Amino acid sequence: MEQEKAPDIKNPKALLFSLCFVLMFSVMNGTMFNIAIPDIAVAFDLLPSQVSWVMTGYIMIYSVGALIYGKLADTVAFKTLITFGLTVFTVGSLVGFIAPNYGFVLMARIIQAIGGSMIPAIAFLAPIRYFPKERGKVLGIISSVMAFASGIGPILGGTIAGLLDWQYLFLSSALIIVTLPLLRKNIPDEDTSNLKLDYFGASLVASTIVTLLMGITLSNPFSLIASLLFAIFAYIRMRLAKEPFIPPHLFENRNYVVAILTGFISVSCLFGLMFTVPILLRDVYELSTLQIGLVMFPGAMSAALIGRKGGSLVDQKGSRVIFAMSLFLLMSGLFIVSSTVGINPVLFSFMLVFPMMCFPLVQASGADILANILKNNETGVGMGVFNLLNFVSGALSGAIIGKILDVFRPDEAWNILALSGSSSVYSNVFLICSLFILIGLIFFKLLFSDTETKAPY
């Protein structure tokens, strides 16, 4: 495939650094607040179901926003989107820092999500637009930053909340604004095309996602039914609108559908791993929050270190080969973790390296596959759907695994190599995830065509 000409960038290294810096802040903002939820509940005398909206509300707005920003990125200049997003995010952070009551905390998180959801959309689109010759390597770096930030976030959040107070998590998030001058200086000037956004179609898609996430996180069947109805209306609108919010022909390309579904399976299992491990370490090993962060730290570091090399392999060997390889490694890593649950926590920490190092490989190769498939003028919305499914997968895997841990406590592990006892349920969860990755790998190998070409529309 002929490489597209990259726009003139004054300082590519500075642009990449600022993109990674702003992405790290965004990802840590989510994981840091997981640590702060108990403190917020105590501060405002809240029930668990009430304080959970600090995360639930953020995820709902963030996931929808990532799709909308992706759509806007096809026609609106990146400088405009970045300036708007970072400014709004910073305003939300400052509102949270001075929040006098829980209502203001929720409002702050929603404002943060409205601005912050710009970041993953731009972070995955910028390498495609500005670094076409090193796209795989840059996507690998971006993905490794995401994985590292996910691991370091709880440690940093616990330290800030412990030494100062949970409000200072908002203040630390506001520091993201320091990257704006550097980003604006290094992003090329671009024109904003005539923007024709299908607002009705966008509202139907947003309603579908919000009700789906509410149904998943709150176990509300009425929300799930409403989500199905909204999805039907969104599909009808997609077919009837002259310029639909999501072009229906995206889903007529088999390679695109196979890639996003396989990515959804793999990211669900990765998020499921990161959701389950802290619970496992508290339940089985009785570790403190700081100790949990330290156990997960080697895995986060391995992901950070492997990202650049893995991204370079995408450029050298092709995204299809690396994606299949990363699925095989992830399947093997989850099986290793399933087999070693209950052993010494220091040794278990190093077992976590095997699946966690696959995070940047899966993300970078998956994003590069989509970049090869999508037309240039629809990369934004196509990658927006990819980002949307990533966030939905996190909510879905967390809700399902949470329910399993609530009601299913077997005494025997299904994995014959694993220890039985209190750790059996965790071993079984990781074994199931490993089998799902195997199914995804087979699905990808059988249905994804050998040629990586742009979609024919």
Which tokens in the block code for residue 27? Answer: 């990802």
What pLDDT score was predicted for residue 444? Answer: 93
Asked if pLDDT for residue 58 goes beyond 50, the answer is: yes
**Residue type at 146?**
M
Exposed e or buried b for every residue in 328-348, given b needs 16+ CB within 10 A?
ebbbbbbbbbbbbbbeebeeb
Asked if pLDDT for residue 457 goes beyond 60, the answer is: no
What pLDDT score was predicted for residue 455? Answer: 45
Which tokens in the block code for residue 222? Answer: 């009425």
Single pTM value for the model? 0.79
Tally Cβ neighbours within 10 Å of residue 5: 8
What percent of the chain stands above pLDDT 90?
21
For residue 410, the SS3 value is: coil
What pLDDT score was predicted for residue 48? Answer: 60
Asked if pLDDT for residue 453 goes beyond 50, the answer is: no
Q: Please state which architecture CATH assigns to domain 249-450.
A: Up-down Bundle (1.20)
What pLDDT score was predicted for residue 319? Answer: 84
Asked if pLDDT for residue 141 goes beyond 80, the answer is: yes
Superfamily of domain covering 11-186? MFS general substrate transporter like domains (1.20.1250.20)
pLDDT band at 452 (very low <50, low <70, confident <90, very high): very low
